Amino acid sequence: MSQHIDPRDAQRVALAEAWIAQDPDPETRDELAAIIVAVRGGDPEASADLADRFDTRLAFGTAGLRGAIAAGPNRMNRVLVAQAAAGLAAYLVERATPGSTPSIVVGYDGRKNSDVFARDTAEIMAGAGLRAVLLPRLLPTPVLAFAVRHLGMSAGVMVTASHNPPNDNGYKVYLGGDDHGSQIVAPADAEIAAHITRIAETRAVPDLPRGTFWTAAESVIDEYVRQTALVASPTGAAPAAQPRVVYTAMHGVGWQTMSRVLETAGFETPTLVDEQIAPDAAFPTVAFPNPEEPGAMDLSFERARAVDAELIVANDPDADRLAIAIPDSAATEGYRRLTGNEVGLTLGWQAARRAADAPGDSGANGALACSIVSSPGLEAVARAHDLDFEATLTGFKWISRAPGLVFGFEEALGYLVNPGTVRDKDGISAGLAFLTLAAELKAEGRTVADHLDEFVERFGCHASGQVSIRVTDLSRIGEVMARLRTEPPASVGGIRVERIEDLADGFGALPPSDVLRIVLEGGARVMVRPSGTEPKLKVYIDAVSVDGTVAERRAAASAAVAALDAGMRELVE
């Protein structure tokens, strides 16, 4: 006989039992049933676990859904996905032109349950009266983003948690039509969320009608490959040279598509990190499947040393991000991963030269764009090539909407190099663009390192750094942001603060956002914001030096970044 339990626990147990009754997944049903037994037995840890699962709901926002795979409304599971699919379907029906049938294309990567969540979504969409299309197999996120536009769909859903921990999964939503295949922004997120809440409160999952979906033809992937290969050369010209390259898919879905793109563009097959090349939801060789994380590229460095590689190309698990590493004798591993800003500025300069050389009047060749937390060096590149520049809020949902966009990037390894094809970050096309640059440099007898020196000589050294504070109590992030607002620092790391710009109520053309921009003497700046996808407070540091030699510029900018890093850690840790 179970002991008496707290009334709040009793309410949660009732909610959990109702959840089990509508859950089609035996794994999560059993998981939740075991927690109920433990709660009834007086286990305080089980009680806290149940409260965490049922006292709140995994929020649907502009980043869609993302969380750990487990039972309950505050986790990713088949019940939550079914409710999200039905809510999104209701939103699409509501906004459809009278008499028309809305449509959706669904994609999925190699994470646990991605295929199950995708099929649930397609069936529920079809049951709601939409024309639903499922991509034929696990594929990179950029292919789904491409398919939304290529197939002329009303919307798209990609089931992926990108580079999150192995047990996470997520749900990205794209809109077609006037949104041109970009990810959702406000107010669409709130409107979709309202429909999802209504479905969750009024409909049981087994009562949601399901229908028959279509499976997309292979020609969709063929066309993505064809159009992406043109990033290397719009004329189809052969590569200028063949750099020695190592590639890793980080246990994700990138290689099959990347290999076809490289072959179509005329590049030789790179040396592969075999242990990481096939999709594996367990991510066995990395603690955290993100190329930015320490240790994630160790196998790539090992393989590169063995073949004397001139370049390492890495995708994250859903291949929407790109990491690049180059030989560096000063690095312990013999190779150095370039920062997201270094890659972004390099690709931005490449795009700017191409845009400036394109036919058209000066100043009418488009725009470069990056998020406000990415390097301001991109603006210097745009000015030098008579291009427009736009700084947006974080996320490609904003970058992709910049008017006249020819290139956009975000320091978190995201690059948009082919806006006419994909309106989202794309690690495959970006990888090809960087490989094309490396080939051109090799043909001229130069290296990527030489090219980085040339950038510093022409535009100055734009050094950057980041402080990332992971928390277990999300309230701590709010406390730090509030303290910085009410007790603003007069200096950071010995560098005088000129002004602090609070973006909470919007700033210029930027929509409101929980971001503080600290502008410092000498052209340096610090951006502080909560992460949109992880329990982190993120601090972005940028400094610039345009005086002296390349080495002197690097030393001065790096010293400023180091001082600001130490100063910000004192303020936020």
Which tokens is 565 given?
A: 């890093």
**Residue 171: beta bridge partners?**
65, 159
- Sorted by sequence, the CB contacts under 8 Å of residue 146 that are 6+ apart come out as 181, 220, 223, 224, 227, 421, 422
* Residue 454 in domain: no
CA distances from 430 to 89, 122, 183, 269, 323 (A): 32, 30, 19, 17, 10
* Residue 362 in domain: yes
Tokens 């926002």 -> residue: 61
408-438 pLDDT, tens per residue?
999 999 999 999 999 999 999 999 999 999 9
58-69 pLDDT, tens per residue?
999 878 999 999
* Residue 235 in domain: no
Contact between 396 and 158 (Cβ < 8 Å): no
Widest CA span in the chain: 82
Q: How far apart are CA 401 and CA 356, in angstroms?
A: 21
Q: In what order do the strands lie in the sheet with 405-410?
A: 388-392, 367-371, 405-410, 414-416
DSSP 177: G
Q: What percent of the chain has pLDDT over 90?
A: 88
431 and 338 within one domain: yes
73-95 pLDDT, tens per residue?
999 999 999 999 999 999 999 99
CA angle 146, 148, 152 (to 5 degrees): 120
CA angle 316, 322, 325 (to 5 degrees): 110
Q: How far apart are CA 573 and CA 571, in angstroms?
A: 6
Which tokens is 78 given?
A: 């088949």
270-328 pLDDT, tens per residue?
999 999 999 999 999 998 999 999 999 999 999 999 999 999 999 999 999 999 999 99
315 and 363 within one domain: yes
Q: How far apart are CA 570 and CA 37, in angstroms?
A: 46
In the chain, the N- to C-terminal Cα span, in Å, equals 48
Instruction: Tell me the CATH number at 312.
Output: 3.40.120.10
- Sorted by sequence, the CB contacts under 8 Å of residue 201 that are 6+ apart come out as none
Length of the chain: 573
Q: How far apart are CA 302 and CA 342, in angstroms?
A: 23
* Residue 26 in domain: yes
* Residue 450 in domain: no
Please state whether beta strands 388-392 and 367-371 pair in parallel, antiparallel, or not at all (unpaired). parallel
When comparing pLDDT for 394 and 381, which is higher?
A: 381
Catalytic residues: 162
477 and 438 within one domain: no
Which tokens is 138 given?
A: 């696990």
544 and 477 within one domain: yes
81 and 172 within one domain: yes
**Residue 68: beta bridge partners?**
168
Contact between 527 and 372 (Cβ < 8 Å): yes
Domain final position from 413, 444, 475? 444
Q: Could you please report the per-residue DSSP string of 480-535? A: HHHHHHHS--SEETTEEEEEEEEGGG-BTTBPP-S-EEEEETTS-EEEEEE-SSSS
131 and 188 within one domain: yes
Of 101-110, 160-169, 357-366, give the lowest mean pLDDT range. 357-366
155 and 88 within one domain: yes
- Sorted by sequence, the CB contacts under 8 Å of residue 362 that are 6+ apart come out as 386
| Closest of 71, 195, 181 to residue 124, by C-alpha | 195
Name the residue range of residue 501's domain.
460-572
140 and 40 within one domain: no
- Sorted by sequence, the CB contacts under 8 Å of residue 218 that are 6+ apart come out as 136
Buried b / exposed e along 313-345 (16+ C-beta atoms within 10 A): bbbbbbbbbbbbbbbeeeeeebbbbbbbbbbbb
19 and 86 within one domain: no
* Residue 64 in domain: no
95-136 pLDDT, tens per residue?
999 999 999 999 999 999 999 999 999 999 999 999 999 999
Measured in degrees and rounded to the nearest 5, phi and psi for residue 162 equal 55, -115
pLDDT at 359: 64
The one-letter amino acid code at 17 reads E
Number of domains in the chain: 4
312 and 188 within one domain: no
What's the chain's average pLDDT? Answer: 94
Which tokens is 249 given?
A: 């898919």
The one-letter amino acid code at 208 reads L
pLDDT band at residue 507 using 50, 70 and 90 as cut-offs: confident
